[in-house]
């Protein structure tokens, strides 16, 4: 795996894996992002999705672009690129103290079941633990207790079950759902 900084922006790192390229996410990927961000099947376990309009997706991506240039950047959202096609996103959100990073991912349903989420999440996890720009002590990931594919991703990248006493509530819902937390602590 290799990491390269995007020309002119030292915090904007591109990550390459065996099959994927992870590039800083932004409005360049508006249409392809909206395909999965507005799809109820792709977003079934995403708290803040699906988006109802392309403007919602654009607003999110504009915020992500601002994060990439922020002095105290705490959000690292990558577009997942497969053979030149944008198929999803993977992210690392840092807590206030920049000691804990939270991983997240979403893949367009047309690409489910091929290991792309695992490959992308593992690459960002490895980047976060190996980069001099982070001093992380722990990486976590959350998921709905019914989301077996995400549980498998978390286990495959080395995260271990931590708790199941949290709750999540989905956009437009009044129902609380049991939330699982998986983590990996640096020793």
Q: Which domains, and CATH codes, for the chain? A: 2-136 (3.40.630.30)
Give percent above pLDDT 70 in the chain: 93
Q: With contact defined as beta carbons under 8 Å apart, do 85 and 120 qualify?
A: no
Structural element, H or E, at residue 125:
helix 116-130
Express each pLDDT in 25-55 by its tens digit: 999 999 999 999 999 988 888 888 898 899 9
Give this prediction's pTM.
Answer: 0.89
Q: Which of 29-33, 65-69, 131-135, 182-186 has the highest mean pLDDT?
A: 29-33
Question: Taking 60 as the threshold, does the pLDDT of residue 1 lie above it?
Answer: no
Express each pLDDT in 146-163 by its tens digit: 999 999 999 999 999 999
Express each pLDDT in 99-109 by its tens digit: 899 999 999 99
Q: With contact defined as beta carbons under 8 Å apart, do 35 and 137 qualify?
A: no
| 3-class secondary-structure state, position 101 | strand
Mean pLDDT of the chain: 89
Question: Taking 60 as the threshold, does the pLDDT of residue 71 lie above it?
Answer: yes
Express each pLDDT in 94-144 by its tens digit: 998 888 999 999 999 999 999 999 999 999 999 988 877 778 899 999 999
pLDDT of residue 187: 65
Going by C-alpha positions, the residue among 43, 157, 148 that lies closest to residue 92 is 157
Query: Residues 121, 5, 126, CA angle at the centre, nearest 5°?
Result: 25
Backbone angles phi, psi at 9, to 5 degrees: -135, 100
């Amino acid at each position: 795996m290799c990491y390269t900084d995007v020309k002119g922006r030292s915090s904007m790192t591109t990550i390459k894996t065996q099959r994927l390229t992870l590039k800083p996410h932004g409005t360049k990927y508006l249409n392809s992002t909206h395909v999965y961000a507005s799809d109820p099947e792709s977003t079934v376990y995403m708290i803040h999705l699906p988006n109802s309009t392309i403007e919602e997706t654009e607003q999110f991506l504009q915020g992500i672009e601002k994060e990439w240039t922020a002095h105290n950047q705490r959000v690292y959202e990558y577009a997942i690129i497969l053979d030149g096609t944008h198929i999803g996103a993977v992210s690392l959100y840092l807590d206030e103290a920049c000691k804990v990073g939270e991983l997240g991912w979403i893949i367009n349903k047309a690409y489910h079941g091929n290991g792309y989420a695992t490959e992308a999440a593992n690459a960002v996890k490895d980047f976060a633990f190996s980069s001099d720009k982070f001093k992380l002590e722990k990486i976590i990931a959350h998921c709905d207790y019914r989301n077996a594919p995400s549980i498998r991703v978390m286990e495959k990248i080395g995260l271990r079950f931590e708790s199941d006493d949290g709750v999540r509530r989905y956009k437009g819902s009044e129902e609380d759902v049991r939330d699982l937390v998986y983590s990996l602590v640096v020793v």
